Amino acid sequence: MIANDMKNTSKIYFIIMPLIICFFTFFCNPDGFASSERHSEKPMILCSTTQIADFTRNVAGDSFEVRCVLAPGADPHTYMPTPNDAQMAVRSVMCIQNGLNLEGKNWMATLAKDAGKPIITASDGVKPLELETDGKKTSDPHAWFSPRNAAIYINNITAGLCRLDPSIKWELEARARLYLAQLRALDSWIRQTFHVIPVSKRILVTSHDAFNYFAQEFGFKNQAPVGWSTGSEIGAGMTPARFKSVVESIKSLGVKAVFVENSVNPKLMREIAREAGVKIGGELYSDSMGTEGSAGETYIGMMRENVITIVSALK
């Protein structure tokens, strides 16, 4: 009898307890089951690209929530902001963009202006390289590809965050100093690692003109068939004459491999590779870092993986 009672009591216990736990979890949490979507209490910084968001996180630490408009793999040149982006801009305390016209049609500045929020341009103070498309000269927006320019980005972001909250200036500057040391280490590692590629073989053929700063910094010749912007369709910026000249230069320079990019459709580069009789050396991270969990999910990771892909294909 007693044993039976105990059995029943323990049955009831195992039925009731989960219900009690659920009750307290749900009703004692003001956000109920929506807690996983709860917004952080911290002031939010809204960044345009994945690289800018990574730089900002490295300086902000846990003092700010850092959000990014672009998802990994998205193309900043052609992006059209959504109502959700506008809401995030309204929730933010500050916006940060790359600038140099990377954010096509100024979409990040427009989001910040419409929301009435201050905006920092991370590339301010970079000495821009010049690009020429259809006889028109523009500044090359892909400045982050030089770690020395990335250091300028970090200094601008740090100054902006310090203005937002001067009471944590010391900690923001301390994080920035550590990250700047990592950028210097990255720069010297890249130079050492490229030693195995003879200077005559340092030719980088990629989808679009993202790698000029990288090429200039590390002694590569760079050729990109579609020009500086990716356009709204595959191969926008490509002409038959340009296609022919790229194929001919690949053949005459004895290029071993060409590269596709993670933010640009690879179709055109595959056609060029086939026509020129060379292999695709791999996919490079260009205007976007990699997805969460990939080797290229940070700026340092994407630069490291790009260098390894390039060396493996061209050495």
For Zn ion, which is the closer residue by CB, 210 or 300? Answer: 210
From the list 61-69, 116-124, 208-216, 218-226, the region that binds Zn ion by CB under 5 A is 208-216
If the CB atoms of residues 210 and 255 are measured against Zn ion, the closer one turns out to be: 210
Residue 305 interacts with Zn ion (CB under 5 A)? no
> What is the identity of the amino acid at 207?
S
* Structure tokens that stand for 112 in this block: 């910040």
Q: What is the DSSP letter of 263?
A: T
45 binds Zn ion (CB under 5 A): no
131 is an interface residue for Zn ion by CB under 5 A: no
70 binds Zn ion (CB under 5 A): no
By CB under 5 A, the count of residues binding Zn ion is 2
Helices 50-60 + 299-314 axis angle, to 10: 130
Q: Which is nearer to Zn ion, 59 or 210 (by Cβ)?
A: 210
Binding of Zn ion by 190 (CB under 5 A): no
- Decide: is 268 part of the binding site for Zn ion (CB under 5 A): no
Handedness of CA 131, 120, 148, 224 (dihedral sign): negative
Among the candidate windows 117-125, 174-182, 184-192, 283-291, which touches Zn ion by CB under 5 A? 283-291
- How far apart are CB 142 and Zn ion at their closest, in Å? 6
Map residue 141 onto helix, strand or coil.
coil
- CA-to-CA distance for 272 and 195, rounded, in angstroms? 28
Residue 167 tokens, joined: 């009471």
Torsion, Cα 219 207 183 71, to 10 degrees, reads 180
140 binds Zn ion (CB under 5 A): no
CB of 287 to Zn ion, least distance (A): 4
CA distance 204 to 121: 28
Nearer to Zn ion, 101 or 193 (CB): 101
Which residue is at the shortest CB distance from Zn ion?
287
| CA pair distance 195, 309, nearest whole angstrom | 14
261 part of the interface to Zn ion, by CB under 5 A: no
Tell me which of 156, 287, 302, 313 binds Zn ion, using CB under 5 A: 287
Q: Among the candidate windows 123-131, 189-197, 206-214, 234-242, which touches Zn ion by CB under 5 A?
A: 206-214
Based on the number of CB atoms within 10 Å of its own CB, is 85 exposed (0-12), middle (13-18) or buried (19 or more)? buried
Minimum distance from residue 201 beta carbon to Zn ion (Å): 25
| Nearest approach, Cβ of residue 102 and Zn ion (Å) | 7
What is the amino acid identity at position 236?
A
Whether 266 and 274 have beta carbons less than 8 Å apart is answered as no
210 binds Zn ion (CB under 5 A): yes
CA distance to 30, 32, 91, 110, per residue, from 38 (Å): 10, 10, 13, 27
Residues that bind Zn ion (CB under 5 A): 210, 287
